[in-house]
Amino acid sequence: MSERDVEKDYSVADFAAKLRRLADALETGKPFRIQIAGERFTVPRNARISVEHERGDSEEEVEFQLKWSTADADEEPADDTEV
């Protein structure tokens, strides 16, 4: 599998809807299937979750991150959506 780094902007409504769907999957202990920039993948229920804050000279950034082993991503997804 090749390395990849993709970033996409969303409207507030679209971003909130995606976060709600992800939160529902996390709370129910189900994997989460998502498509980003044409690639579909599954975030497994045991993904590690972290929040990162970065500060530079003229801007700040908050990242919500989910990390997992690719071996764990073979679970059945809770849902499927384009991101």
Query: Is the overall model pTM greater than 0.85, yes or no?
Result: no
Phi first, then psi: what are they for 23, rounded to 5°? -60, -40
Q: What kind and span of H or E run contains 3?
A: none
What's the rounded Cα separation, in Å, for the pair 83 and 77?
Answer: 15
- pLDDT tens-digit profile of 1-27? 678 899 888 899 999 998 999 999 999
Write the CB contacts of 63 (distance below 8 Å, at least 6 apart in sequence): 51, 52, 53, 54
What are the tens digits of pLDDT across the range 43-83?
999 999 999 999 999 999 999 999 998 877 665 555 555 44
Strand partners, 39: 36
Element (H, E) at 1: none
What DSSP element (H or E) covers 45?
Answer: none
